[in-house]
Structure 1
Amino acid sequence: MDVFELIRDFFHKRQSKILIERATGVRLVTEREETIRGCFAFPGTEYDAGIEVDGQHAGTISYGINPLNDRVYIYELTIEGESRRRGLATATLWRLWCTHQVPLVPLHEVGTAVGFWSKARKRFAAAGVEIKRDIRTADQEEEKLRWQHLVPESEHERTMRQYWEWVESENTAGRPAGPGIQ
């Protein structure tokens, strides 16, 4: 191991310790856990959770885990009233990362939160943890293609696919098939 790696490891451990201390007392209380067709992470699971600090409600977080279990997508993170400006959002993200240990990805960084996400990326990177850039609406469909092969086919979709496969096989065999056949 070279000197640079030793120094990097030292600072990663130091920053991890700081984040762990900040997350002490922060608890995520799952309020909803669902897999809903049509939602971003489908067939992964989506969650709504309350954020509690020392037993007191401090905010909410909505997030999803894709079916590959390789990303946690942050939909919304809200810290309420007097709980703001105390590092609770960062502590919440750390708690989430400790639970799943995969990169965190905000779906859309609103203008007022750009500074927060920038600071969080730097703090987490110092601990050796990745927070990826946000996925804008146009990029979400491309991201979903990574697990598209895991999306179960509905009965209607399967029937339509089988019909068009039959039409194709009939046409290939020289027998006209399909809509408008005389």
Structure 2
Amino acid sequence: MSVVKQLLRWRWRPPVPAAAPSIDPAPVVYTYQTPSPSPDTPGVRKAADPGGPSAQSRALDRLPPLVVKAAADHFRVVTAPSPEFRATLHNGASEEVGTAKYGLSPLGDRVYVYDIRVPPAHQRCGYATALLWYLAREYGRPITPVQELHAASGFWNAARALAGAGVVVTEPVWDLEAEAARWAHLRPDAERLAEQILERLHVRREPWQVAVGRGLDAEAPAARRVGAPCAADRDGPSPG
């Protein structure tokens, strides 16, 4: 074959990067369980008080156990450089009883709740309120609903009545993009974080949830190569 024909058939191909270590693609999910209300929680009246426990604390005492499995997302979300979370809600029997989406204000002054969904079979059991109790205990900040729908106004008004027991719910925010003007000075950090996430995805070849699940300048989690034995596998079963 002539050199000309060889050149005509030649096509440039980008260099193949060195293979990155294979990372276990299991999603990064944080699991929490709602604690029982404590008499030491600010606003919760102690049982030894003459008036006894408040109606608000009694309402929290009746909440069902709830396990929150939440996955963080930092990639170009409205609250960046702080994360948004998508969560599944599970009862004490490990059944999924709902889903939720919420985000953390980059100013550290509130938790935005975008959505709580509980199927009809599990409604009116206290799971949505238990989620608010978890958010109040986990972050210690007021909870702000985003675009509070009329159909959910009864739920949110009842939640606002729990302020004395430590669950503080503000009036809703209707335009989160406008709300984001409060942290406009943090946009350079949000853009730098987005660049870091793209590098994690395309250069380090990290799975999506591993890449977006950690914040600015956060170190990569200790990755275990797929098929590599963990310490327990190497050392054998633990005694006892």
Offset from partner CA, 1:86-120 (integer Å, 9 cap, x none): 12111111111111110000011112101111111
The equivalent of 1:151 in structure 2 is: 187
SS at match of 2:188: coil
- Structure 2 counterparts to residues 7-156 of structure 1, below 5 A: 10=45, 14-15=54-55, 17-30=57-70, 32-37=71-76, 39-54=77-92, 55-122=94-161, 124-137=162-175, 140-152=176-188, 154=191
Q: Distance in 1 between matches of 2:85 and 2:91?
A: 19
CA shift in 2, pair 1:22/1:101, >3 Å:
farther
Per the TM alignment, residue 42 of structure 1 is displaced from its structure 2 partner at its CA by 1.6
What do you get for the CA RMSD once the two structures are aligned? 2.4
Structure number with bigger Rg: 2
Distance (Å, rounded) in 1 between the aligned partners of 2:62 and 2:122: 13
Structure ranking higher in strand proportion: 1
Q: Does the C-alpha gap of structure 1 residues 118 and 129 become closer, same or farther in structure 2, counting only changes over 3 Å?
A: same
Q: Does structure 2 conserve the Cα–Cα contact (< 8 Å) formed by 1:23 and 1:94? A: no
**Which of the two has greater helix per residue?**
1
Structure number with higher relative contact order (C-alpha < 8 Å, ≥ 6 residues apart)? 2
| Structure 1 runs not aligned, ≥5 long | 1-7, 156-182
Query: TM-score, with normalisation over the residues of structure 1?
Result: 0.69
State the one-letter code of the partner of 1:112.
Answer: A
**Count of aligned pairs:** 143
For the structure 1 residues 97 and 128, does the alpha-carbon distance in structure 2 shift closer, same or farther, using more than 3 Å as the test? closer
Cα deviation 1:128-158 (Å, max 9, x = unaligned): 4420111112xx3442122211122658xxx
Q: Is 1:52–1:58's contact at 8 Å kept on the other side of the alignment?
A: yes
Instruction: Name the TM-score, length of structure 2 as normaliser.
Output: 0.53
